[in-house]
Chains A and B, each alone.
Chain A
Amino acid sequence: MAVRSRLAGVLAFLMAAAAAPLMPDWVVSLATIAFANALVVLGLVVLWRAGLVSFGQALYYCIGAYTVALTARWTGFNDAFGLVILGGIGAGLIAGLVGALIARYREIFFAMLSLALSMILYGVLVKTESLGSTDGFTVSTPTFLGFALHGDKLGLALYWLTLGIGAVAAVLVGIYFRSIAGSLAAPIRDNEIRVEFLGVSVTRIIHVKVVIAGVLGGLGGALAALSIGHVDPAMSYWTTSGGFVFVTILAGAGSVAAPFVGSLVFEAVRSFAVDALPGLWQMTLGTVLLLTILFLPDGLGSLATRWRKREGAKPT
């Protein structure tokens, strides 16, 4: 079963990579943003499994994005791959500091503290006129290993970069989930005392989870900044965080692929809703979320599990 789902993942990745040149531009850019956001959601899944919800994941998203934008602006360094890695590292460092504070908190306190920290960044950026205050500023066009690309080619290159980083992140997080520290998520949710008595520090394990989620958030933000070509403080605003939590609920925490599917569905529903029902798109999204919670409490990812179970139950 594990081999089959891995095979399905590889196939889906190859198809997503191969189909890109055949898709219209707007689909490519929608998918790029969806997969960039999926990285943030993957980070939320890491926390979610341990019973932790962060309502401030936009903090790392925004730091990743601004790291890219400011590095390019101040140093002229323009390589897309290098910038994205820097975005991940920058957010990871901040997550290391933040984790030292919030790893001791749980439930609503964890959620609200992360929200508060992201809103502090929002406040600082809004007040910083040299960085364009609420308007933000433009990110210079990146190069790819020294090649400057334009138009559809730039869009495609960014899409493939996002897809590639997403795939590597999914594989690494998959390995982490099978490690002892990764497998301790459900035990921590169940019974922290027992985990401590087995000889493991729950705070340190959660600190690691915060850093992993931070790095993923930073990578997502960095890719989004390159793809949109613009950064602004709204990337750190609480509604941005809320959107990521929304997608996490939609996708479910069942697998590392679910955030990518969930995020794609979310972006698709949103853009269709904005197009078809301009005044009612928030209501449409709300209805989708409500229906998900009612009928698929474990998210879209659980559809695959259900289907697999039915297959397994069939007499062969």
Chain B
Amino acid sequence: MNASGNPILAVRDLEKTFGSLVAARDINVSVPAEQTVGVIGANGAGKTTFINMITGHLTPSKGSIQFEDKDITGLPSREITRLGISRSFQVAQVFPSLTVFDNMCIAAAIARAHGDLFGTVTTALRSPAAIAEAQATVELFQITRYRDTPANTLPQGVRKLLDIGMAVVAWPRLLLLDEPTSGISIEEKFDLMNVVMSALKSRKITVLFVEHDMEIVARFADRVLAFYDGTIIADGTPHEALDDPRVQELISGVRVKPGAGAAHA
């Protein structure tokens, strides 16, 4: 964790209202580079609204978002993607009729063309650089044996890995994962998160991940943001945040030992 220097992401007084409904309010967070942040909260607590404002899919009603000292508040999502923020989805968003490799190749090629329309018309999809990048990312996410399998026949876990891989192939500095383990069986969850997190660490990516499974959060997050009623009610190490009585009462329901599995003094 690199706490020195400027934060990679700084959010100030962020607020989002839909008519009279306040979806998010008074959000203040500053994330140092290479930190892995778990975002928890019940449904409707504002987690996804928060993520959507950072990625530009919702325009904040108030407040500001700084990414690497650049004000990205209200920028369109395509521009934010180009600046170095990628995201994955709760329901894996892949191209079902294409193979794993073709999916990855398209993501790699677009990232290299910088999303510019002229560039996309004049650049070949299968440039040697895009192919190499796609192959490296397929290997990084350990899905090489599915390389030539059409995405619509993939097991759910592989599909998730592909979805996250397609976000990572653009070499983002900040990655937002919306429920990376949703729809995955309990036995597979930890293996999946191990693959994902070691891949992201190897590329020095700062991560914000939304997660409902407190054991996953405790194991993989450096820091936890707990959302309730549109705002952050706890912000600290997994230990501090998950031990917080308000978090236990309002979010996790039951007490989970931070660093699950490890001996807790």
Interface residues, chain A, with chain B CB atoms under 8 Å away: 176, 178-184, 186-187, 189-191, 193-194, 196-201, 204-205, 208
Contacts and interface: CB of A to CB of B under 8 A. Distances in A.
Given A199-B115, A204-B117, A191 B94 contact: yes
Contacts of B96: 190-191
A24 B123 CA distance: 44
B109 interface: yes
Nearest to A201: B78
A194 B78 contact: no
A20 to B, nearest CB: 34
A276 B87 CA distance: 62
B166 interface: yes
Contact of A178 (B93, B111, B113, B125): B125
A232 to B, nearest CB: 35
Contacts of B170: 198-199
Contact of A197 (B77, B98, B119): B77
Contacts of B94: 191, 194
Given A184-B120, A208-B117, A178 B126 contact: yes
Interface residues of B, number: 31
B125 A196 contact: no
B121 A199 contact: no
Given A184-B106, A190-B95, 13 more contacts: A179-B121, A179-B122, A179-B125, A180-B106, A180-B109, A180-B120, A181-B120, A187-B95, A191-B94, A198-B166, A199-B82, A200-B110, A201-B78
Contacts of A194: 93-95, 166
A46 to B, nearest CB: 12
Interface of B: 77-78, 81-82, 87, 89, 93-98, 106-107, 109-111, 113-115, 117, 119-126, 166, 170
A191 B95 CA distance: 6
Contacts of B93: 191, 193-194, 197
A257 B110 CA distance: 27
8 contacts: A179-B124, A182-B121, A183-B109, A183-B125, A190-B98, A191-B95, A191-B96, A199-B78
A12 B147 CA distance: 36
A48 B100 CA distance: 23
A201 B95 contact: no
Given A179-B124, A190-B98, A196 B106 contact: no
Given A183-B125, A191-B95, A198 B117 contact: no
Contacts of B81: 197-199
B98 A200 contact: no
A309 to B, nearest CB: 16
Q: Most B CB atoms within 10 A — which of A186, A198, A208?
A: A198
Contacts, number: 85
B111 A186 contact: no
Contact of A199 (B95, B97, B110, B123): B110
A196 to B, nearest CB: 7
Given A191-B95, A194-B94, A197-B87, A180 B113 contact: yes
A193 B87 CA distance: 12
A312 to B, nearest CB: 15
A200 B121 contact: no
A176 B121 contact: yes
A204 B81 CA distance: 17
Contacts of A208: 117, 121
B125 to A, nearest CB: 4
A186 B95 contact: yes
Contacts of A205: 117, 120
A190 B120 contact: no
A208 B166 CA distance: 25
Given A179-B125, A187-B98, A191-B96, A198 B120 contact: no
Contacts of B115: 198-201
Contacts of A196: 77-78
A265 to B, nearest CB: 28
Nearest to A188: B95
Contacts of B113: 180
B87 A180 contact: no
A179 B166 CA distance: 19
Contacts of A197: 77, 81, 87, 89, 93
